[in-house]
Amino acid sequence: MKMIYAEMEQNLKSTFWRDAAKAGGVAGVALAILMLIMNTLQARGASVGVISHWLEFFIMFVSIYWFGKVRAAKYGRDGFTYGQSVGYTAAMMLFAGFLYGLGMFLVLKNPAQTQSLIDSTAAVSTAISGAAPDQTTLDMMRSMYRSPLLYVFGGILYTVAYGVFVSLFLSVFIKTPRTR
């Protein structure tokens, strides 16, 4: 019996990252598609701010709960703790964030979008400091906004932080008690 238990535990450990990658991939693609749709609607003049945030929350909520429950079911009688649920969500969101960030880069890489981001960043900088950014700063912002690393790391940071925050609540419902 101990041999079977040890083998099952090893199997769960070896599938952790694969399961997190699959779940995160689904969530990341869904978030990237949502961003593409909302960006397209916004470019056509629609106001999508609040709707976009609620749909994003819905995607995060459903994916964390659904994939967390699927992972918890694999643990069976051994139970799935609150900490395991939060940890699994963090791993899942790493992959989701990578795809979300990549999608963000692909959507926002066109020159008009880049210039719009630079203009809004410069306006905030001017409002805070009282002086407009010089040409060197604008060139640096332009090169930074053209780099996929900014978007990928930003997407990872955003989804992990947001996902773990949502998971702190949802893990109460995802966890399963040990029954043996």
Q: In this predicted model, what pLDDT tens digit does every residue of 140-158 receive, in sequence order?
A: 887 887 888 888 999 999 9
Query: Is residue 103 a contact partner of residue 158, using CB atoms and an 8 Å limit?
Result: no
φ, ψ for residue 173, nearest 5 deg: -95, -20
Q: How far apart are CA 164 and CA 11, in angstroms?
A: 25
Phi, psi (rounded to 5 degrees) for 172: -60, -35
Q: Name the pLDDT band for 171 (thresholds 50, 70, 90).
A: very high
Angle between helices 2-43 and 148-174 (to 10 degrees): 130
Percent of the chain predicted with pLDDT > 90 = 45
- Model pTM? 0.79
Q: Which region among 64-73, 108-117, 169-178 has the lowest average model confidence (pLDDT)?
A: 108-117
pLDDT tens sequence across 37-93: 888 887 777 777 788 889 999 999 999 999 999 999 888 888 889 999 999 999 999
Sign of the torsion angle spanned by Cα atoms 117, 42, 34, 109:
negative
Is pLDDT at 117 greater than 90 in this prediction?
Answer: no
Of 162, 27, 172, 39, nearest in space to 106 by CA:
39
The domain spans of the chain are 2-109+146-174
Residue 7 has pLDDT above 70, yes or no: no
